[in-house]
Structure 1
């Protein structure tokens, strides 16, 4: 009897061990596929959209986070096919393909590429579209930019790539790292969330959406589904109940959605809620991918044509964002959480729209009150409805251990923020917009010193 029990226990343990080994192998394989997908897409955008050296980009952006497998990573840039392939020891291959006007997209298996809809609307000329780099004339402001580009600790470089300063709607200063310039599209990361919020605002202005309506997502249509009660407002504010999606190692919901799924919104809609809607704040990439899907559906039939028409003709063209691209997934949905590429001037143009209360060239494209709504506080946090605020001085963003705001900046400041040091800072009291872009993998971006320094320089200029 004892021997029989021993055999049963041993057999059970063996099954568990085999299952665990298979699970570990699957997770390891997914992790490596995520790594190669990240490399191929980033370098594809670098080579064909930003036109920066892919080897330099790999060394600055990708390799520091992949040192354990960096020796085994291989990538190949095919300039004839406009694609980049990456692999680990010849396995776990990933392929990203560039399409004119749409940027790069990961192609999994035999999936079909969505073609460009061909909307090449001429951007409206901007008042600060100077052909050359505008160097600051004020010596104090020049020193501020010198400091922002300086590397105090080479072991933890800031790698600032671009800074643009607008004051009273005029371009008064800009600077770029070598290999970058006024026309270089740079990855905005989660600045894209603020742009997605603006797309929702445009559709609210047009009467096609309302922030208080339940999210029009087909998979959530059943009243018995806990997701059914989630509103557009809650998705914008990140209190929808969707989980914080960047935890649990490399194979988390965010990474799976970005790098393993052809239809990101369809996947995001399947992720269970962690909390009842409206009760808990949790940073959510999933929610902003769903918002992009909602926006495209509201704008038309929901295909790639509608996505391109919405983004280009309703936002980028009116603002004169000449070098902006909102990349899509294979389903043709803009990656609303994180995949806008634009020049620093373009990002500053977007910030100016919010400084001007949603009006550009005398035309209102955002509803009255939308700008205030976008940076109104959510559940006592430092987040609004697509923008970060400077209203919380204590505590830090959950999990990240980073401050909610920018302590050196005025209270009325609000901002768009992306990973690795991407910022669009808007300071209404100073009539100021600052765009700062870089590849700052470490904590010290210097954004607080930059904002405070620019304001000091402006006050210095105003003195008699």
Structure 2
């Protein structure tokens, strides 16, 4: 992990809170309250999970140093959630049908109709009954027991869902109390893998070239060095733009460009597009959400705008995979976040994994271009210590990263989100394993997920 960065103390932040009108500090002060209001709103009205439980498991550990200064409230009648810091910095998130929750920052997105899922034309991609699939194999049951076990002391794992898919069939799954088959769960940065799929569809349709200059108007002036950035550079996190970092998160992240763009900016793509270059495009790997925000705006523009991008994602991806009422949340402009904030059931996250396990083909129809899956799982130079591909984390060509996940086969790759969201894809074993939760254990429960996958492989005979 990168070395820690020295940050102002919580007391310093409180002393400067009255100055929240100053641009940089104002955005930093609003990051925690916007985070809280937005996530509580989404939890209450999308996931429909107890927001106070979510606050305790997910948000409280992040804001612990300033927790005494924070207040929050969910208004079920108005479908809003609010938060405040020391009675000064205040935030309100509003639920919008079809778009999810949006923090009120003085910009209102265009209305978008909520789209009901359409059943796929052919057989279901995922075989699963209405009831929870209890494992018949004692070894699989023991693996699930271990996946949900809490350590006797230390940080909690808060496992919410595990789904194991073998040969397209759910062979084992379990949910924590209060969660179930239909509960929509926040994938956090697993959203980047969904954005990868939308980009792949545009490439298959001939509407986007990954190695051509990115179609970003802000970079089109003659001589602008950013005009050399490609969609591939953005997807592989090597644009060279000064976008901050999104590898780690805590209350100190409020001072980082990435967090301010995500939680204190109504137009994320515009802010990311305005960033200066720190390195030549394609020469340095730096994981930052702003890269995917730019890609999400490209997808939105190619689809025809906010309403059209929701229909595009539903028609071309979610419905063809048999995914249920997925919510693709947006910023205040109506463009999807791209980097975070897709909410889907654990089974639906497994369906996305199956698309990649099946080389981008569903019911004989090629959804993703030929070679796209291998492209997505191919290691990006510079990311060897972490193992990053193109919108996915990968074992392929990443021996240093493999030391932290030794049970994953050499062809495995994964969608991965903050604090323990995983869709592990192992094409050679015809296997997809989903783990969702709010882990504050080392490496966000990567060790436990690695063990789970190893135990599943052993139980299913490879």
Could you state the TM-score of these two structures normalised by the residue count of structure 2? 0.89
Counterpart residue number, 1:117:
113
User: Paired residue for 2:72, among 65, 72, 75?
Assistant: 75
User: Paired residue for 2:270, among 258, 263, 266?
Assistant: 266
Counterpart residue number, 2:331:
329
| Correspondence list, 1:424-463, <5 A | 424-443=423-442, 445=445, 446-459=448-461
Counterpart residue number, 2:393:
388
Counterpart residue number, 1:345:
347
Query: Partners of 1:243 and 1:188 in 2: how far apart?
Result: 25
* Secondary structure in structure 2 of the residue aligned to 1:87: strand
Change (3 A) 1:418 1:244: same
Query: Partners of 1:112 and 1:185 in 2: how far apart?
Result: 25
For the 8 Å contact 1:390–1:405, the answer to whether it is kept is no
Counterpart residue number, 1:411:
410
Change (3 A) 1:404 1:196: farther
Instruction: Give unmatched runs, 5+ long, in structure 2.
Output: 1-14, 247-251
Deviation at 1:113, TM superposition (A): 3.6
Query: Partners of 2:17 and 2:78 in 1: how far apart?
Result: 36
Query: Partners of 1:63 and 1:197 in 2: how far apart?
Result: 31
Per mean C-alpha deviation after superposition, the further-off stretch among 194-203 and 120-129 is 120-129
Counterpart residue number, 1:33:
30
Change (3 A) 1:22 1:158: closer
Change (3 A) 1:394 1:357: closer
Counterpart residue number, 2:9:
none
Counterpart residue number, 1:5:
none
Q: How many aligned positions are there? A: 432
Query: Partners of 2:135 and 2:48 in 1: how far apart?
Result: 26
User: Paired residue for 1:255, among 250, 256, 259?
Assistant: 259
Query: Partners of 2:99 and 2:416 in 1: how far apart?
Result: 22
Query: Partners of 1:373 and 1:23 in 2: how far apart?
Result: 49
| Correspondence list, 1:211-230, <5 A | 211-230=210-229
Deviation at 1:121, TM superposition (A): 4.1
Deviation at 1:103, TM superposition (A): 1.4
For the 8 Å contact 2:253–2:259, the answer to whether it is kept is no
Counterpart residue number, 2:127:
128
* Secondary structure in structure 2 of the residue aligned to 1:65: coil
User: Paired residue for 1:44, among 41, 64, 72?
Assistant: 41
* Secondary structure in structure 1 of the residue aligned to 2:319: helix
For the 8 Å contact 2:356–2:425, the answer to whether it is kept is yes
* Secondary structure in structure 1 of the residue aligned to 2:339: coil
For the 8 Å contact 1:378–1:385, the answer to whether it is kept is yes
Per mean C-alpha deviation after superposition, the further-off stretch among 237-246 and 285-294 is 237-246
Instruction: Give unmatched runs, 5+ long, in structure 1.
Output: 1-19, 397-402
Deviation at 1:210, TM superposition (A): 1.0
Counterpart residue number, 1:193:
192
Query: Partners of 1:404 and 1:292 in 2: how far apart?
Result: 33
For the 8 Å contact 1:388–1:405, the answer to whether it is kept is no
User: Paired residue for 2:279, among 270, 275, 281?
Assistant: 275
Matched, 1:238 2:237: yes
Counterpart residue number, 1:374:
376
Decide which structure has the larger Cα Rg and report it: 1
Deviation at 1:232, TM superposition (A): 0.9
Deviation at 1:240, TM superposition (A): 1.4
For the 8 Å contact 1:158–1:441, the answer to whether it is kept is yes
C-alpha offsets along residues 76-109 of structure 1, whole Å, 9 cap, x if unaligned? Answer: 1111111101112322111111122321111113
Deviation at 1:406, TM superposition (A): 2.4
Counterpart residue number, 1:12:
none
Query: Partners of 1:242 and 1:405 in 2: how far apart?
Result: 29
Query: Partners of 1:250 and 1:279 in 2: how far apart?
Result: 27
For the 8 Å contact 2:95–2:101, the answer to whether it is kept is yes
Q: CA RMSD in A?
A: 2.1
For the 8 Å contact 1:188–1:340, the answer to whether it is kept is yes
Query: Partners of 1:294 and 1:65 in 2: how far apart?
Result: 32
For the 8 Å contact 1:196–1:292, the answer to whether it is kept is yes
Counterpart residue number, 1:16:
none
C-alpha offsets along residues 206-254 of structure 1, whole Å, 9 cap, x if unaligned? Answer: 1111111110011011131121100111111111112462378422111
C-alpha offsets along residues 409-436 of structure 1, whole Å, 9 cap, x if unaligned? Answer: 1101111111101111011111100111
Query: Partners of 2:29 and 2:365 in 1: how far apart?
Result: 48
Deviation at 1:395, TM superposition (A): 4.3
Counterpart residue number, 2:105:
108
Matched, 1:94 2:91: yes
Counterpart residue number, 1:8:
none
Deviation at 1:457, TM superposition (A): 0.8
Query: Partners of 2:264 and 2:407 in 1: how far apart?
Result: 40
Change (3 A) 1:308 1:276: same
For the 8 Å contact 1:243–1:284, the answer to whether it is kept is no
For the 8 Å contact 2:377–2:392, the answer to whether it is kept is yes
Deviation at 1:280, TM superposition (A): 1.1
For the 8 Å contact 1:389–1:405, the answer to whether it is kept is no
